[in-house]
Amino acid sequence: MLPKKFSSIIQKKAFEIGFDQFGICEAKLPPEKAKLLKEFITLNHHGTMNWLKNRIDQRSSPHILWPEVKTAIILGVNYRSKENPLENLAHPEYGNISIYARNRDYHTIIKGWLKHLAQYILKEAKLFTQNEQVKVFIDTAPIMEKPLAQQAGLGWQGKHTNLVSRQFGSWLFLGEILTTLEIPSFQMGSNHCGSCQKCLTICPTQAFPKPFQLDARRCISYLTIEYHGSIPIEFRKPMQNRIYGCDDCLSVCPWNRFASQTRHVKLQSRPELIAPPLMRFLQFTEDNFRSFFSGSPVKRIGHLRFIRNVLIAAGNSHEITLLPFVKKWINHENAVINETAQWAIDEF
Ligand code: SF4
């Protein structure tokens, strides 16, 4: 086991690199976490996200994914914006894009930081031991990062199932470094939700069957980002003007009051994505979409899935000046676009 001062040295370096939170735990999750994951899959709450069930055993604990691993180092990055994402919902002629997607794709930014820190850890560890290994992950492997983050002391999994930090509220990106090094663990985070139910009651589609359980099939983030087909009718009106993701359950958490705005310029909202006019997006060709969202997480859903979401927001807006731009999408060769455009027209 490496001495405690080793943890302090790498924690200091992590903050210098750009991370805002840091924790360490044994790279092993208790069997209850695997049980919860299996229940999520058995109930079909994962919807069409089959990758969640395909490697379920590996996902249940890092030591099954990588038998030699000893320690998980969990890093958090604060992405709190100065805008309140709930405010834009009152302006239906504008689209609402989830805060995390209003600038550069965080994966590319944080992966570089993780690699930098991993190299530093190996260099420092050579003073104590040889032939150790590190691997970095940011949504790149079947790892349950939220329970690990709680175990490593970054916070706790709130009733909305996301991580909550006393310092940063619900606005944290998570990345992981797994290593064969044995490093002393931090104290596990304890739950401070108490009797609060705010994230459960604000959900526009009732996506939480009970506290600490999410039915992704009802979640607007899943529907607008992961789901490929026609969005079921029952969810279209509750979507309002949300065209990429939803931040309601994160925004309403009282622990956000302690969070400061992100210090990372590349994670602050691009001005043109704070309240983008739906009219502009309805006119986007595939080339327009690809160049406007170059380097953004939004790009990964592709032009037509994005237009599907914008058409629903346009229908919900009842803004008559949008009607001619919606009409251009009927008789589209893509059946989902065609059907969604027709639905939107009927809403005016
Ligand atoms: S909104 Fe309330 S219940 Fe939900 S995560 Fe925050 S503190 Fe917990």
Considering the domain architecture, whether residues 132 and 61 belong to the same structural domain is answered as yes
Which band of pLDDT confidence, cut at 50, 70 and 90, is reported for residue 146? very high
Q: How far is CA 346 from CA 94, 215, 281, 316, 338, in A?
A: 20, 29, 20, 10, 13
Please identify which residue in the block is written with the tokens 């327009």.
Answer: 288
- Ligand 1 midpoint to CA 170 (Å): 9
Domain count, the chain: 2
Q: Which DSSP state fits 131?
A: S
Residue 92 lies in a domain: no
Contact by Cβ (8 Å): 106, 79: yes
For the CA of 191, the nearest atom of ligand 1? 8
First vs last Cα of the chain: how many Å apart? 66
SS3 state of residue 20: coil
Residue 98 lies in a domain: no
Q: How far is CA 251 from CA 82, 198, 232, 241, in A?
A: 12, 10, 25, 16
Task: Name the residue at shortest CA distance from atom 2 of ligand 1.
Answer: 196
Residue 97 lies in a domain: no
Considering the domain architecture, whether residues 53 and 202 belong to the same structural domain is answered as no
Considering the domain architecture, whether residues 256 and 301 belong to the same structural domain is answered as yes
Considering the domain architecture, whether residues 114 and 262 belong to the same structural domain is answered as no
Considering the domain architecture, whether residues 149 and 284 belong to the same structural domain is answered as no
Ligand 1: list residues with CB < 6 Å: 158-160, 164, 193, 196-199, 252-255
Considering the domain architecture, whether residues 162 and 224 belong to the same structural domain is answered as no
Say if pTM beats, i.e. exceeds, 0.85. yes
Residue 93 lies in a domain: no
* DSSP string computed for 259-275: PPPPS-GGGSPPGGGTS
Considering the domain architecture, whether residues 169 and 27 belong to the same structural domain is answered as yes
Considering the domain architecture, whether residues 167 and 30 belong to the same structural domain is answered as yes
Residue 155 lies in a domain: yes
User: How large is the average pLDDT for residues 108-112?
Assistant: 95
Mean residue pLDDT of the chain comes to 96
- Ligand 1 midpoint to CA 188 (Å): 18
Residue 56 lies in a domain: yes
Considering the domain architecture, whether residues 161 and 251 belong to the same structural domain is answered as no
Helix H or strand E segment including 173: strand 172-179
State which amino acid sits at residue 8: S
What digits encode the pLDDT tens for the residues 6-60? Answer: 999 999 999 999 999 999 999 999 999 999 999 999 999 999 999 898 889 899 9
Q: How far is CA 314 from CA 93, 172, 203, 204, 327, in A?
A: 7, 31, 21, 18, 11
Calpha distance 119→115 (Å, rounded): 6
Last residue of a domain, one of 151, 179, 207: 179
- Ligand 1 midpoint to CA 32 (Å): 21
Task: Name the residue at shortest CA distance from atom 6 of ligand 1.
Answer: 253
Q: How far is CA 194 from CA 41, 190, 198, 214, in A?
A: 27, 11, 11, 19
Residue 139 annotated to the active site = yes
Structural domain range at position 336: 198-347
Considering the domain architecture, whether residues 208 and 72 belong to the same structural domain is answered as no
Please identify which residue in the block is written with the tokens 């379920």.
Answer: 56
CA angle 177, 219, 37 (to 5 degrees): 50
Of 12-21, 128-137, 165-174, 323-332, the poorest mean pLDDT is in 128-137
Considering the domain architecture, whether residues 148 and 237 belong to the same structural domain is answered as no
Considering the domain architecture, whether residues 63 and 207 belong to the same structural domain is answered as no
What digits encode the pLDDT tens for the residues 225-253? Answer: 999 999 999 999 999 999 999 999 999 99
Residue 313 lies in a domain: yes
